[in-house]
């Protein structure tokens, strides 16, 4: 395997599958099986999942709600997705631990870095819920922060597109995909990979990001086997 310890970032929206809202059970179990395949090969896996399929803080603000209030609601949405993913992984036979950035002791362990690392060493998939626990941060920022804290070698950002393009491929037919790009080039070309907070954390801590299509079955494994899949961003 190319990497020993990874942080997988999944978007909440992807969990919807073809639905307009919420969680599609087929998509959930297909993610669980893809993750299990990698886990069975001995890779240490931490996961951060977004909450956009359930609630988006930004929309709440448009409706007149306080941004911070909306962001906390979004963090709760990530916990719902995290719990769903935890259940799906366990029913696929993968041992997991869920840690929340906001204390919810009845349903989750609190986030304790050293304990998370110990869980990984023991072969448990660790899911980090509730983002960073702070408003004004995205789940991409949570993913970057946690990845750095647990010394993951890379963040794998699973999306619907298969990498980073010179322009938006849905709008510009001439757009081409990068196999590799530096953080500086992403910045100077104004490409959108993660929000700036998340992006800067990765750059400053020399943590590569791989953007790839998680919705094509088998892609995750191909990537982990060292094949050219998606786009890698590094210094
Ligand atoms: P080891 O010490 O490595 O054996 O880890 P462990 O996670 O198996 O030990 P522990 O006895 O701490 O946890 C047993 C179970 O309780 C696991 O499923 C944990 O996720 C869960 N657990 C631990 N702490 C909490 C907590 O604060 N709240 C909730 N809801 N569950 C917890």
Q: Rounded to 5 degrees, what are φ and ψ at 55?
A: -160, 140
- CATH class for the region spanning 5-234: alpha beta
Which residue among 96, 97, 101 is best mutated to probe the pocket of ligand 1, counting the most ligand atoms within 8 A of its Cβ?
97
Average pLDDT of span 68-89 = 97
Structure-block tokens of residue 193: 């990979």
End-to-end CA distance of the chain: 22
pTM: predicted TM-score of the whole model, two decimal places: 0.96
Convert the pLDDT of each residue in 5-36 to its tens digit: 999 999 999 999 999 999 999 999 999 999 99
Half-sphere exposure at residue 175, Cβ-oriented, CA atoms within 13 angstroms: 16
Q: How far apart are CA 150 and CA 117, in angstroms?
A: 6
- For ligand 1, atom 1, which residue shows the shortest CA distance? 119
Domain boundaries, the chain: 5-234
- Ligand 1 residue neighbourhood (C-beta within 6 Å): 97, 105-110, 118, 122
- For ligand 1, atom 22, which residue shows the shortest CA distance? 109
Convert the pLDDT of each residue in 191-234 to its tens digit: 999 999 999 999 999 999 999 999 999 999 999 999 999 999 99
21 DSSP 8-state letter: S
Strands, DSSP E only, in 15-165?
44-49, 96-100, 109-110, 125-129, 154-159, 164-165
Q: How far apart are CA 152 and CA 8, in angstroms?
A: 10
């Amino acid at each position: 395997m190319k990497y020993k310890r990874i942080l997988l970032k999944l978007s909440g929206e992807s969990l919807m599958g073809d639905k307009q809202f919420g969680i599609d059970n087929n998509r959930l179990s297909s993610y669980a099986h893809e993750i299990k395949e990698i886990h069975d090969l001995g890779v240490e896996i931490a996961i951060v999942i977004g909450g956009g399929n359930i609630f988006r803080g930004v929309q709440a603000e448009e409706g007149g709600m306080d941004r911070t209030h909306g962001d906390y609601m979004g963090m709760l949405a990530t916990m719902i997705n995290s719990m769903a993913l935890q259940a799906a992984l366990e029913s696929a036979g993968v041992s997991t631990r869920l840690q929340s950035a906001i204390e919810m002791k009845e349903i989750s362990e609190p986030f304790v870095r050293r304990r998370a690392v110990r869980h990984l060493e023991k072969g448990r998939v660790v899911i980090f819920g509730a983002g960073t626990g702070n408003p004004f941060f995205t789940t991409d920022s949570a993913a970057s922060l946690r990845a750095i804290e647990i010394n993951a070698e890379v963040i794998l950002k699973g999306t619907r597109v298969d990498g980073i393009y010179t322009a938006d491929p849905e709008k510009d037919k001439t757009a081409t995909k990068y196999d590799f790009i530096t953080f500086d080039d992403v910045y100077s070309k104004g490409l959108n990979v993660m929000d700036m907070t998340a992006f800067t954390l990765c750059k400053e801590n020399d943590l590569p990001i791989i953007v790839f299509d998680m919705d094509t079955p088998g892609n995750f494994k191909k990537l982990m086997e060292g094949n050219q899949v998606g786009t890698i961003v590094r210094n």
